[in-house]
Amino acid sequence: MQKFLFIGLTALLSATAAAATRDAIVTEAEIPGATLRITIRDSIDNNKVSELVGWLQATASSVSVVSGRFPNPSPHVVVVPVGRSSWGSSSPVPFGRVTRNGEERVELYINLDRPIEDYYGNWTATHEFSHLLLPHIRNRHKWISEGFASYYQNVLMARAGNYSHAEAWQHLYAGLERGRQSRPDLSLNEAADAGIRRARMKIYWGGAAIALLADVALRERSNGAESLDTVLGRLQQCCLPADASWSGPRLFKKLDSLLDEPIFMHLYRQHATMPGFPDFQPVLQKLGVVIEREKVRLRDDAELATIREAITGGVSR
């Protein structure tokens, strides 16, 4: 889940869903390695349906790029049109969430007043689809699931051409900086215990920092042969979709078992229980992500510039 309007949210979702069940459009769309089962909870014209299905196909396909196929062969995607007045937001996709209760379901609440081009430029759906790259993670370690999805929402938006490379790194830097400034007194596990209301930025971006550190380290030590993409692809082959919830240590131990040399539990021991925030700035510097007055500039002569381009370009080093 990525965007929250806390006052009356549960009641609003229930009322919207109940109203929308009177009319629904059910269809399917093929993507690499999967068939999207799509329910649009409203009666809308065929042209808009076609546009929405194309957007969902493109967004889910961008997640398939991580391993070559989508992590669930038959996910259910529920699209709920809502009005701006219901959410107090003009965002094309003001809310999204993943539920796992007998099936993996991605729910996307959309503003039909916005043109289809605006959907492609919005990261909500990419974030929610990216959750399916991991099994459900228990609340104690929610920073992993939300953090990895926050990392991939920017990486995949760039790979799909919806962000430039500089825009993707700008969004990543801004999010990581918000996380760094949020609740420095808490460890990542403590932030997850505190919950979204009290430690949202640390939960979302602490895990993104871990994803970045792991991705760069894997690419650097293997000369590009391994990456966060490749290890998540192996996880997909063995373990997804998963019926049960996993703890963070269980996930990281499993990821390490898929590597010749472990890395994830080392990062967990460093950061999960210690106050503060993972130090991402030296890695950005090596990547050539230069920060000047909070704005990102990319240096092509940096030590790891090729790795930086591979991360947001989706190519092997």
Locate tokens 């997640």: which residue? Answer: 63
pLDDT at residue 138, rounded to an integer: 97
CA distance 95 to 55: 16
CA distance 205 to 217: 18
* DSSP assignment string, 11-63: HHHHHHHHHHTTS-EEEEEEETTEEEEEEESS---HHHHHHHHHHHHHHHHHH
Q: Residues 128-141: pLDDT tens digits?
A: 999 999 999 999 99
Domains of the chain: 9-133 (3.40.30), 139-313 (no CATH)
pLDDT at residue 87, rounded to an integer: 62
Average pLDDT over residues 240-267: 97
Handedness of CA 41, 88, 97, 131 (dihedral sign): positive
pLDDT at residue 317, rounded to an integer: 33
Q: Check pLDDT > 50 for residue 143.
A: yes
pLDDT at residue 132, rounded to an integer: 98
Single pTM value for the model: 0.92
Q: Residues 33-73: pLDDT tens digits?
A: 999 999 999 888 899 999 999 999 999 999 999 999 999 99
Residue 130 in tokens: 């990216």
Contact between residue 128 and residue 109 where contact means Cβ atoms under 8 Å apart = no
